[in-house]
Amino acid sequence: MLVWEFSAQDLARTRFACSPLSEVATSVEVLKEPGRHAVHLPWVRQAGQRLAGVDWSLLSQLVRLPTVYVPDFLTPVPVDTSPTIEQAVAELAATDPAAVRRDLSRLTGELPPVVAEMYRDPEVGLARLAGEVLAYWAAAIAPHWPRIQRLTEGEILRRARQMSTGGPAALFADLHPQVSWERDTLRIGHRVDVQRRLDGERGLVLAPTVFAWPGVYSQQNPPWQPGLLYPPRGVATLWENSGAAVPDGLARVIGRTRARLLAELDSPASTAELAARLDLSAANVSHHLTALREAGLTARHRTGRTVLYARTEAAELLLKVRH
């Protein structure tokens, strides 16, 4: 078990971030072992076709099964809240060669030929890896990135709301079955057995990562902040068009379309996302969302250029009516 002890300063510095490179690394694990990631099987089928003819052999060899350790230079804890894949890959390509060799030396067993070549010449290896990551991203993840990003941003909004009303205990509540918070200690069911007190200067970075499902992953690469990758709420419906249960009682009161919209907002979503899920026009969805907001059942949140809708506590209570 991994145990992190927090001070008040650590909690004050704890933040959220989205990590494109972590999505890449965890998605490679999904492709290699799809049976353990059944939620993502629709994506696996699409990605397998799109990756035909794409060379990602070095990337594949760096994410080994069982995934005990992935080189830190491939999954750095984000410094920015929401870096683009281009920014992340540029930072990857600029990694210190000494850090590359240090991370690769932590891999157990004999290094595969392409990884051994990277160890011998890190600069050439980083250039190759950067190209592979961009090609892999364009084929396998970019077509789905807006949807993935909306899910992770919605997760951050929901967690921020929980913390604002319930403090750190609410922030970590139901984060993941393997994660628990008690007093000033965060416990993570993990393959490693480590207990560590954070130094009060770094805090923790929480990075919702859809391809992490069903697991949770820690990141520890000093002097940067430690990180925790976990699957956001709603990841089980990521590849579905619509499947949220609509309470009949609620549908009779406010109408089936508006009840369906509330049911779909298990995690915050945009008008365009909801329209695609329910096969409705964006104008129609916007009309119903406005009515729901005026009734106090939804709230609007802006993240960058995107407006996300979330259920209010009143809506949560209404959705408990099943008949």
Please state, for a pLDDT cut of 90, what percent of the chain lies above it: 49
Contact partners, residue 271, CB within 8 Å, separation at least 6: 282, 285, 286, 289, 307, 309
Residue 223: pLDDT over 70: no
Q: How many CA atoms lie within 13 A of 35 on its CB side?
A: 0
pLDDT number for residue 142 = 92
Q: Which residue has the tokens 């309470």?
A: 247
Report the pLDDT averaged over residues 66-94.
91
pLDDT number for residue 157 = 87
Closest CA to 215 of 86, 65, 107, 106: 65
pLDDT number for residue 11 = 87
Report the pLDDT averaged over residues 38-43.
92
Domain 241-318 bears CATH identifier 1.10.10.10: yes
44-58, 112-126, 226-240: which range is least confident on average? 226-240
pLDDT number for residue 241 = 56
pLDDT (tens digit per residue) in 145-176 = 988 988 898 898 888 888 888 888 888 888 99
Q: Directed axis angle between helix 122-136 and helix 20-32, to 10°?
A: 80
Give residue limits of the domains in the chain.
20-143, 241-318
3-17, 96-110, 150-164, 300-314: which range is least confident on average? 300-314
pLDDT (tens digit per residue) in 298-323 = 998 876 667 888 889 899 888 876 54
pLDDT number for residue 201 = 67
Mean confidence (pLDDT) of the chain: 88
**Neighbour-count burial of 100, counting CB atoms closer than 10 A to its CB (0-12 exposed, 13-18 middle, 19+ buried):** buried
Please state, for a pLDDT cut of 70, what percent of the chain lies above it: 94
Distant-in-sequence contacts of 111-114, Cβ < 8 A, 24+ apart: 112/61, 114/57, 114/58, 114/61
Q: Are 301 and 289 in contact (CB under 8 A)?
A: no
- Ramachandran bin of 53, using left for φ above 0, alpha for ψ from -120 to 50, beta for the remaining angles: left
pLDDT (tens digit per residue) in 224-252 = 788 999 999 888 778 865 556 787 888 88
Compute the distance between CA of residue 257 and CA of residue 309 in angstroms, rounded to an integer. Answer: 15
pLDDT number for residue 323 = 44
Report the pLDDT averaged over residues 69-95.
93
Residue 192: pLDDT over 50: yes
Q: Are 16 and 23 in contact (CB under 8 A)?
A: no
